[in-house]
Amino acid sequence: MIKEITMPAGGQTTDTSTVGAWLVKKGDKVKRGDELLTVETDKATLSVESFAKGTVLAILVEEGDSAAAGEVLALIGDESDRQEAEARAGGGSASGHGAAAMPVSQTEEEEDEYQPIDPSGPVRYASAPKQEQAPSVHTDTGEVKAMPNAKLLAREHGISLSDAAAFTGKHILKRSDVQNYIEDAPRRAAAEDAAVTEVPLTSMRRTIARRMLESSQNIPVFRATVEVNMERCIAFRAKVNDNKAGFKISYNDILFKCMEAAVRKYPYVNASYTDSAVLLHKDVNIGLAVSVDDGLIVPVVKAVNEKNITEICEANKANISRAREGKLTADDMSGGTITLSNLGMYPVTQFDAIINPPEVCILAVGAVQEKPVLEDGQWSAVPVMNLTGSFDHRVVDGAYGAQFLAELKSLIEDPAMALL
C-alpha cells in the first residue's frame, strides 16, 4: 500500500512551504525515522522524516518549489505499488531525482546501508589529506553517524567522516554523501588558493535572509530604549535560586514574566497586523531568539500568561535544548505574539532587533553593566541594562510604545510585582 509523504504545516503567516533539498532519490530504500527532505517554512528550515518503511517510488515536488500544507511530496511503497505510483506521478518522478528504479533484490552492502553506525566507536578514520579538507566555514557537525557503505567508502579514501559531514551539513551520512565529498575535492583544492572563499548558503541561512528582508521592507519601525536598574532583579533571581535546590531561573525567565505582565496593560504590543484588522491575542506567546551552529531560530513558549516562573523556566530550558539538538518542530516555532532577543552574555550594551512578522514588537536586551549614579549627593555603582523595543508603527504609536517600555522597566526593577 502506498504511503504519502505530505508537506507539514507552515508558519502562522502562510500555509505554503518550500522544498529546500531532497535527501533521497527515487529508488532509495528508507525506513521509519529516516530524513527524506528539508522544508523551508516562514520561520525556519525543518527536516521531514519518513513514517514508513519501503522504497521511494516517486518524488512529486522539485527542490525550490512550494507546496501547501498537506500536499503530497513523495510516495513510498513496495514493488507492487510501483505502477500506481508512476501513474500518479505522471509517468515518473521529478526530473532532478529520477534515478533508475532500484531492483527488487538488494545486495548485502545496500541492505546494510540502512543501519546507522556511530563512527565514534572503535573504528577511527585518518584525517583527509590537505586538499581534501572541507572548507573551514562549515562548522560543528555534532554527533556524526554514517551508514556502513558510507563508512567503507570513507575508509577506502582516507576521509574523515566529520569533514564529510561538515561539507554536506548532515549528521547522518549515506554513501552518496561521501561520494559527493570525494568528487568535490578538486573544487576545494582550487578554492584553497583563491583570494575569496565561496560559502554556499544553507537552507536556514536562506530562510533567515528572506524573513529579515521581508520584515525590513514591509514594516515601518520605530525604536525606543530605556535604562533599567537591575539591583532588585539581580537580588530577586539570587533569592529564588537559593530557595530552589537544583533549580535555577535565568534572567530570560524573569523577563518573560515581566513582559507578560506589561502586555496585560498594553495589549496592542501583543498583536498582529493584517491588511484589514489588528488582531489582539488573548494568550501571550513569547519567542526567544536562540543562536544555533548554522543560524538563528525562535522557539516559542505558549501561554506565558498561564505559567508561573518555574514553568516558564522549564519551557525555556526544553526549547533551548531541542533547538541546539535540531529537534524543534514547526509547532515549537509558530504562534509567537512577541519576541525577546538577549545578547547580554556578550559585551553588547545596546542593539536593535528586527521584528518577526506578523508580530508587532520585539525586545532587545544587552549586558548588565555598572554605571555611576548620584543619589542623595552620593555616587555609587549601579548595575543597569539597556532595553530596546522595536515596534510596528502601523499598530503601535510612539507614546504607546514608550508607556509600555516604562511599565516593563518598572516591573523588571521590582520583578516581584510581575508575580501578583
Is cis: bond before 415, omega within 30 of 0?
A: no
Asked if 171 is an active-site residue, the reply is no
Place of cell 514553568: 311
Other C-beta atoms lying within 10 Å of the C-beta of residue 347: 9
Q: Would residue 19 be called left, alpha or beta, if left means φ above 0 and alpha means ψ between -120 and 50 degrees? A: beta
Q: Which amino acid is at 100?
A: A
Q: How far is CA 399 from CA 4, 241, 406, in A?
A: 53, 36, 10
d(CA 262, CA 307): 15
d(CA 265, CA 11): 28
d(CA 300, CA 316): 8
d(CA 190, CA 205): 25
Place of cell 543501519: 115
User: Where are any strands of DSSP class E within 177-245?
Assistant: 221-229
Given 97, 157, 281, 393, which residue is catalytic?
Answer: 393
Q: How far is CA 84 from the centre of its chain?
A: 37
The residues carrying an active-site annotation are 393
